[in-house]
Structure 1
């Protein structure tokens, strides 16, 4: 565990080699990255963690609205704890990509390269007000009808399915345990993250010259996540690289995703992809 202002952060470390920090999205935790981290640990020191308020990373004060900048501070503290002074590769998905962007801009000497996977920066969209109104609607649904109803509305609007219930048949015990934690985390996401996180606007000027890459899932229908990623690419002058799977391709296609991630990190850093 790592102590941070207002929270205790649970983290795991695998493998050896250059440090690689994996940053989750809204309701995920370290276990969601388990298959990917196991693969990447062949040539990296892989750091995974539960974001504050999720799973085993508990708030130590009263819960309050969360901000991307606050989570980026946690990521920076984690790098100081695990990676000492060595610059780290960073991968972030969804909200995690936004955390990674803030980390990169504020602490460029600590990030060797960042790959952001479908970052949810809706505040850059020309119709951002409509999407912020949706986030408020989802929050009010959560208050009135509970987590499941609110998440169904949100998932339908953005085109991304939520995780299966922990009670689904045929799941191994560790997967059931992970899904139970993820479903519990949805309450933190809806109550304290959704409306504030989506107000984040990255420093696109700084990202234009940073070791930074944008990637998106290449399987399944076009989603709001794809649209947002393309919009950010236009602002930063970046290309969008197609990655295996959909929004959770790192979980459904871990081996192929790891290969694509190695190549993207190497390209963003201006080096050859690490050898396995």
Structure 2
């Protein structure tokens, strides 16, 4: 069986850093942070669905974290020199894939940093929070992107959603043309159900959350994951989208964290 084609970009020089974007894996908005990192690392940006490589608008199947992590492993095999190891940074859904990569393919990893992965099932109220993400997907199907976005924001901020914007379901063509819609239709439901397993030893793990996310759902998820998976916890600039909001400061913090210079204790 022929393995699917891999989509990724390489920029910069230095130790290899695999970057796994969130959402549907489209690296939109990550150009500035990639540029800021490229002076320190060889940044390999993985595009799991090829949405930034000519596949936006083409049919997409429901995604699983292991699909992305298997692809990430093959990207590392294609880009690392013989005997080499890599840093990995995953954001949101990309953080879920990074955790699965660590659990299933740890051999060539140095340090995995996962930013606000939505693995909410690990929380004491995980069943309720997981149901909230399922509701977001249902709202998207019934009322479109604006209503789903409002419900998602309320869920992440752990507050009542209030009245949602009016809207209509997207056509299949409209859905496939929007990375956000692809994420809501084919990624969010399965990735938020993922429960990572602790590994007894292996590469270093750090969970991160944005300073602007304090008191919110994915901040406490990252804190608990760090404890359960025997990793470190570090705050990053901005919120869930800190890499796009504060790219230079985010890149500085990521560099310090990967090199072990900004970990408590």
Q: What TM-score comes out, normalization by structure 2 length? A: 0.82
Aligned counterpart, 1:134? 132
Are the equivalent residues in 2 in contact too, given 1:98–1:116 (CA < 8 A)?
yes
Alignment of structure 1 residues 9-20 onto 2, 5 Å: 9-20=6-17
Q: What's the C-alpha RMSD, in Å, of the aligned pairs?
A: 2.8
1:211 Cα shift? Answer: 0.9
Deviation sequence 1:114-152 (CA, Å, 0-9, x none): 111111111101222212222222222222111221222
Decide whether aligned partners of structure 1 residues 155 and 32 sit closer, same or farther in structure 2, where only a CA change above 3 A counts.
same
Gaps of 5+ in 1: 161-179, 271-276
1:61 Cα shift? Answer: 8.8
Partner Cα separation in structure 1 for residue 27 and residue 193 of structure 2 = 25
Aligned counterpart, 2:18? 21
Alignment of structure 1 residues 1-276 onto 2, 5 Å: 4-5=3-4, 8-27=5-24, 29-52=26-49, 54-56=51-53, 58=55, 63-85=60-82, 86-159=84-157, 184-206=178-200, 210-219=203-212, 221-267=214-260
1:243 Cα shift? Answer: 1.3
Are the equivalent residues in 2 in contact too, given 1:90–1:114 (CA < 8 A)?
yes
Deviation sequence 1:74-95 (CA, Å, 0-9, x none): 1111111222432111111111
Q: What TM-score comes out, normalization by structure 1 length? A: 0.79
Gaps of 5+ in 2: 159-173
Are the equivalent residues in 2 in contact too, given 1:55–1:181 (CA < 8 A)?
no
Partner Cα separation in structure 2 for residue 186 and residue 60 of structure 1 = 12
Are the equivalent residues in 1 in contact too, given 2:23–2:183 (CA < 8 A)?
yes
